[in-house]
Amino acid sequence: MEISVSLLFLIITVVCNLFCNSLSDVICLESERTALLMFKNDLDDPSGRLSSWTGLDCCEWDGIICDVLTGHVRDIRIHNLGGKLSPSLINIKNLAHLDLSRNNFGGAQIPSFIGSLNYLQYLDLSESGFEGIIPHHIGNLSSLEYLNVGDHFGSKLIVTNMQWLSNLSSLKYLDMTGVNLSEPSDWLQVINNLHSLVDLRLSRCRLTLFTSIDVVDFTSLRVLDLSGNDFNSLVPYWIRSLGNLVHLDLSDCGFYNRIPFALQNMTKLEYLNLSSNNFNSTIPDWFSRFVDLEVLNIADNLIEGEIQGLLGNLTSLVSLDLSHNRLEGILPKSLANLCRLEEIYLSGNRFSGDIQVFQGCITKSLRFLYLGSNKFSGELPSNIGDFVKLKKLDIVDNNITGTLPEEFGQLQELEYFVASLNSLEGVVSEEHFRNLSRLKIFRANGNKFSFKPNRKWVPPFQLTGLSLRKWDLGPEFPLWIKHMRNLNYLSLAQTGIIDSIPAWFWNRTSKLSHLNLSSNQIYGQIPSLLNLGFDGNVGVDLKCNRISGPIPPISPNISILVLSSNLFSGSLRDFLCNDVVQENRLEILNLGNNRLSGEIPECWMKWPSMRVLRLEGNNLTGKIPSSIGFLTRLQSLHLRLNNLSGILPFSLQKCVDLLLLDLGRNNLTGKIPVWINKLSKLIVLNLRLNELSGNIPQELCHLNSIQTLDLAGNHLSGKIPRCFNNFSVMAGKQQASDHIYYSVEDTFGGVPDSQFLVLKGRFREYSSTLQLVMTLDLSDNVLSGSIPIEITRLIRLQALNLSRNSLNGNIPDSIADIGFLESLDISKSWLSGEIPQSISRLTFLSHLNLSYNNLTGRIPTGTQLQGFDTSSFIGNGLCGPPLSGKCDENEETLSTEDEEERDGSLLRGERFGVFLSVVLGFVFGFVGVVGPLILNISWRTTYFRLLNSIGNYIYYVLVKTFLR
C-alpha cells in the first residue's frame, strides 16, 4: 500500500511535470529566479518591457522559457533594453539559448562570463552596442551552434586573434558582420576547421586575403556573405570548393577582372550578388545553369557584351539587376518565359532595341522596371495596361517615341513614373490618369506632350513629385495643381504658361522643396515666398519670366532663390533688411538682369550663409556696402553692369573664400586695393570698364590661383608689375583647382558622362575652350614702360591683351614661351623694334593684333603669321607678307584707323569674360551645395538616387577633371 501510494505520487509528479508545466503549476528554481531579478536590476527598462518579471514563477515571465522536465531556465530573449549585463546570469547553469540582440549595452565589452554558460547552443549579441575585443572565453562554449555578434549599422567590436573560434566545432551559423577582423590574417584557416558551418556572414569585416590556401573544406556551407570587404584582388581560387552554396554575396569587394569560372559549379544558387565590383568580362554562358536562381545582382561593374544567352533557363528569377554596366544589344525574347520576375533593373547600360520586348507572362508579374539611361527605342506598348502589378517604371533618357497609350491609365498600382528625356509626344488627357490613384511621382520632362484637362478635372492621385518641363500646358496656369496637397517637387518650366500665378497656388507650397516655374511668360507680382518648405534646402527658380513688382519676402527654408531675367523693380531694402525672418539660410541668390534700382542696403549681416550673390544687370547705384564683409562664405559675387560708384569697400577683404569677383562695367573709382592679396583663392577677377586709377599694386601678384584677370578699360597707370610670374596657375607651376564644376541646367537623368552633358548643354560652342580658359587683359589703360618679361612666364595663358596702353620697348623674344596662346593683342601702343622671329612658334595662335605700334622690319616668316589678315600688322613700319609692301623698298603700308577691328578685339575679350562669369557663377555656388554630396559618395552607385533627390530642379552638376 505504502509503495503503491508513493508510486502513484511519483506517476502524478512525472505526468504533471510532462503536462502541467505549461499550465504554470511548476514554479521555477528559486536560485534562477533570484539571478534573473538581479539581471533585471542592472537593466534600464523605462518603458516597462520587463513588467511581467514579478511573482514567483519566472518561467511565466516574458522572454523566459524553462525546460519542461526540469524547470530550469533554458531560454532568455530580451530586446530593446539598455543598462548593464549582470554576471548573475552565471547562475542559470542550463541556459541553452541567449538572445540579447537589439539592446543597447552602451559600448560595454562583451562579458567573459558568457564563456562559462557551458550548455549554450545559441548566442545572439547582434546590434547590442557592445564594443571592444570579443573575449576568447566564448571559445569554451563547445555546444554552440549559433553565434551572432554582427551589426549592420557599424560595429565597434574587434577580434585580434581568431584561434578561440576553432574550438566551436558544432558551429553552424556564424555572423560577425561589421566586426573588425583586419588583424587575424588566418581567419580563413580558422574557419576552415569549422566543419559544420552552414551559414557564414563576414560582411564589412575589413578582411584581407593574405593566404596561401586554395582548397577549403566547406562542403556543408550554404550561405556565404563576404560583401563590403575591400579585397581589391581577383576572386580567390578556393571559392570553387563551395559547390553547395545557395546564397553568395560578394558585392562591393573590389574584385576585378572576369567573373570567376569557379562559380559555374554552384548550380544550387538561389541568390547571387556580385554588384559593385570591377568585373569586366561578359556574362558567361554557364550562368544559364543557375536554374534555381531567384536573385541575380551584378550591378555596378564594368561588364560588357550582350545578354542574349543568359536568361532563357533562369525561370526562377524574381529579381534581376544588371544596372550600371556596359551591356549592350537587344534584350532576348526569352524574357517572356520568366514568369516569376518581379524586378528588372537595367539602367545605365547601352541596351538598344524595341522597348516592346516585355511580352508574355512577365507583364503579369513585373512590379519594378528600370530601363533608364539606355538606348531603347520604339513606342510604349499599347497593352501597357496588362502590367497589372507595375509599381515603378523608369524609362528616363532613352529614345522612346510615339504617344502615351491611353491604357496607361489602367496601371492602378503605379506609384512612380519617370520618362524624362525621351521623344514622346501627343495629347495627354484625363483618361491617361483614370485609375492612377496611387501615383506619387510623375516626371516626364523634355517630351512634347500637350495636356490641357477640363478646368473641373479632379485628379485621382496626390502627387509628391511632378515635373513636366517643356510640356504644353498653357496659356492658363494648370488649375488641377490646386488639388495636390503634398507636392514636394514641382517643375512646370518651359510649359507655355502666360498667366499670373493664382493665389491658391501659394497655399499648396508648404511641403515644397523644389519649385521651378522658369522660362514661361508668367506675369504679375509675387506677394510672398514665405509659405514654402518645412525644412531647409528649398530651391526656387522663377527665372526668365515677366514677373514684376518688388522682390518678395522669403521663407527661411529657402536656400536657393533664382529670380533672374524678370522685371522685378524697386529697391532691395525691403527684401534684404526684412526683420520678419530671423535665420536666413539663403546660399544662392540670383536677382540678375532685372530692373532693381537704388542703393544696395547695408543689411548683409542678415544673410550669413550666402555663397553666390548675383545682382548684375540691374540699375543699382551708390557704393558697394561695407556690410558685404559679413558674407564670409561668399564664393561668387557678381555686380557687373550696374551704376555702382565709390571705392571697393575695405571690408571685402573678409570674404576670403571668394573664387569669383565680377565688378565689371560700373563706375568704381580709386585704386586697386593692396588688401586684394587677402582674396587669395580668387580664380576670376573682373574689374573691367570702371574708373579705377593708380598703379597696379604688387599685392595683386599674391593671387596664385587666378585664371582670369581682367582690368581692361580703366585708367590704370604706371608700369606693369614685374611679379606676374607669381600667378602660379597661369604659370603652370600649380595645378588648377582639382575639379571644375560645370552646371548645365536641367539635364536631369543624363548619363554621367562629361561629353554628353557638355555637348547637350548650352555651352556647346565653348566646349573646346571650356576646360582651360586662362586670360590676362590689361587693355585700354594708360600703362607705360615695357612689357615685363615676367608676363611671358605665364605659359598657360590662352589670351593676352595689352592693347591700347602706352607701352614701349620691344616685344620680348620669350613671348613664344606662352605656348598655349590663342589670342595675342598688343596693338595701339608704342612698341618698337622688330617682331621676334620666335613668335612663329606660337602654333595655337588664331588671333593676332600688333597693329598701330612702331614696329619695324620684316614680318617673321612662318605659315601661321602669313595667314593672318593684314590688319594684324598695319600702322607699323613692317614689311613682307601678308603686307603687300616689299621690304627692300622700305615702304610703309598706309591705313586709316580701323574702328571695326578695335571693336572686334573688345568684343572678343568681352565674350571670354561673359562666358566665364556665366559658367563660374552658377557653378561655384554649387560647389558648396551639391559638390560635397557628389564628391563624398560613390558616384556610380548613387548618381541615380542623387538625381532623384536633387531632381531636375535647377542644376545638374558635372564634375570634371580640370587638367587632363
- Residue 6 is inside which H or E element, if any? helix 2-19
- Binds ligand NAG by CB under 6 A, chosen from 104, 211, 337, 399: 399
Candidates 196-204, 257-265, 744-752, 821-829; binding stretch for ligand NAG (CB under 6 A):
257-265
Q: In sequence order, what are the residues at sequence separation of 6 or more whose Cβ sits closer than 8 angstroms to the Cβ of residue 8?
A: none
Nearer to ligand NAG by Cβ, of 312 and 329: the residue is 312
User: What is the nearest approach in angstroms of ligand NAG to the Cβ of residue 313?
Assistant: 4
State which of positions 267-296 bind ligand NAG (CB under 6 A).
280, 288-289, 291
Candidates 258-266, 382-390, 900-908, 936-944; binding stretch for ligand NAG (CB under 6 A):
258-266
Q: Are 797 and 818 in contact (CB under 8 A)?
A: yes
Nearer to ligand NAG by Cβ, of 284 and 550: the residue is 284
Nearer to ligand NAG by Cβ, of 141 and 235: the residue is 235
Could you say whether residue 356 binds ligand NAG (CB under 6 A)?
no
Q: Whole-angstrom Cα distance, residue 136 to residue 776?
A: 69
User: Residue 244's closest CA among 225, 226, 269, 262?
Assistant: 269
User: What is the nearest approach in angstroms of ligand NAG to the Cβ of residue 310?
Assistant: 9
User: Residue 460's closest CA among 436, 492, 443, 442?
Assistant: 436
Q: CA separation (Å) from 735 to 30, 40, 770, 935?
A: 77, 63, 16, 19
User: What is the nearest approach in angstroms of ligand NAG to the Cβ of residue 598?
Assistant: 50
Could you say whether residue 244 binds ligand NAG (CB under 6 A)?
no
Residue 605, Cβ neighbours under 10 Å: how many? 12
Q: Write down the H helix ranges in 793-843.
A: none
User: What is the nearest approach in angstroms of ligand NAG to the Cβ of residue 346?
Assistant: 17
User: What is the nearest approach in angstroms of ligand NAG to the Cβ of residue 260?
Assistant: 9
Could you say whether residue 401 binds ligand NAG (CB under 6 A)?
yes
Q: In sequence order, what are the residues at sequence separation of 6 or more whose Cβ sits closer than 8 angstroms to the Cβ of residue 30?
A: none
User: What is the nearest approach in angstroms of ligand NAG to the Cβ of residue 496?
Assistant: 25
| Residue 747 one-letter amino acid | T
CA 363 from centroid of its chain's CA atoms: 33
Nearer to ligand NAG by Cβ, of 217 and 583: the residue is 217
User: Residue 39's closest CA among 107, 153, 117, 137?
Assistant: 117
Could you say whether residue 330 binds ligand NAG (CB under 6 A)?
no
Q: Look at the block and give the residue holding cell 588566418.
A: 186
Q: Are 287 and 314 in contact (CB under 8 A)?
A: yes
Instruction: Compute how many residues bind ligand NAG; rule: CB under 6 A.
Output: 17
Nearer to ligand NAG by Cβ, of 239 and 923: the residue is 239
User: What is the nearest approach in angstroms of ligand NAG to the Cβ of residue 291?
Assistant: 6
Nearer to ligand NAG by Cβ, of 230 and 431: the residue is 230
User: What is the nearest approach in angstroms of ligand NAG to the Cβ of residue 265?
Assistant: 4
Q: Whole-angstrom Cα distance, residue 666 to residue 656?
A: 23
User: What is the nearest approach in angstroms of ligand NAG to the Cβ of residue 286?
Assistant: 7
State which of positions 101-160 bind ligand NAG (CB under 6 A).
none
Task: Report the SS3 class of residue 430.
Answer: helix
Could you say whether residue 8 binds ligand NAG (CB under 6 A)?
no
- Binds ligand NAG by CB under 6 A, chosen from 33, 72, 201, 240: 240
DSSP secondary structure letters along 867-901: HS-GGGT-SSEEESTTSSS-TTTTPPPP----HHH
User: What is the nearest approach in angstroms of ligand NAG to the Cβ of residue 263?
Assistant: 8
Candidates 149-157, 253-261, 556-564, 910-918; binding stretch for ligand NAG (CB under 6 A):
253-261
Could you say whether residue 651 binds ligand NAG (CB under 6 A)?
no
β pairing state of 684-686 and 546-549: unpaired
Nearer to ligand NAG by Cβ, of 255 and 742: the residue is 255
Beta strands in 746-817 (DSSP E): 775-777, 782-786, 799-801, 806-809
Cell representation of residue 836: 621676334
Can you say whether residue 353 is alpha, beta or left, with left for phi > 0 and alpha for psi between -120 and 50 degrees? left
User: What is the nearest approach in angstroms of ligand NAG to the Cβ of residue 293?
Assistant: 12
Could you say whether residue 256 binds ligand NAG (CB under 6 A)?
yes
Q: Whole-angstrom Cα distance, residue 564 to residue 593?
A: 6
CA dihedral 394, 397, 398, 404 (to 10 degrees): 60
Q: Write down the H helix ranges in 304-368.
A: 362-365
| Residue 303 one-letter amino acid | I
User: What is the nearest approach in angstroms of ligand NAG to the Cβ of residue 258?
Assistant: 7
Nearer to ligand NAG by Cβ, of 251 and 775: the residue is 251
Q: Are 492 and 515 in contact (CB under 8 A)?
A: no
- Binds ligand NAG by CB under 6 A, chosen from 27, 90, 158, 262: 262
Can you say whether residue 373 is alpha, beta or left, with left for phi > 0 and alpha for psi between -120 and 50 degrees? left
Q: Look at the block and give the residue holding cell 584677370.
A: 709
User: What is the nearest approach in angstroms of ligand NAG to the Cβ of residue 922?
Assistant: 27
Could you say whether residue 486 binds ligand NAG (CB under 6 A)?
no
Residue 565, Cβ neighbours under 10 Å: how many? 20
Candidates 64-72, 259-267, 463-471, 852-860; binding stretch for ligand NAG (CB under 6 A):
259-267
Could you say whether residue 257 binds ligand NAG (CB under 6 A)?
yes
CA 647 from centroid of its chain's CA atoms: 41
Could you say whether residue 265 binds ligand NAG (CB under 6 A)?
yes
Nearer to ligand NAG by Cβ, of 264 and 450: the residue is 264
Nearer to ligand NAG by Cβ, of 316 and 870: the residue is 316
Nearer to ligand NAG by Cβ, of 264 and 645: the residue is 264
Nearer to ligand NAG by Cβ, of 257 and 597: the residue is 257
- Residue 833 is inside which H or E element, if any? strand 830-834
Could you say whether residue 377 binds ligand NAG (CB under 6 A)?
yes
Point out which residues bind ligand NAG (CB under 6 A).
Answer: 240, 256-257, 261-262, 264-265, 280, 288-289, 291, 312-313, 375, 377, 399, 401
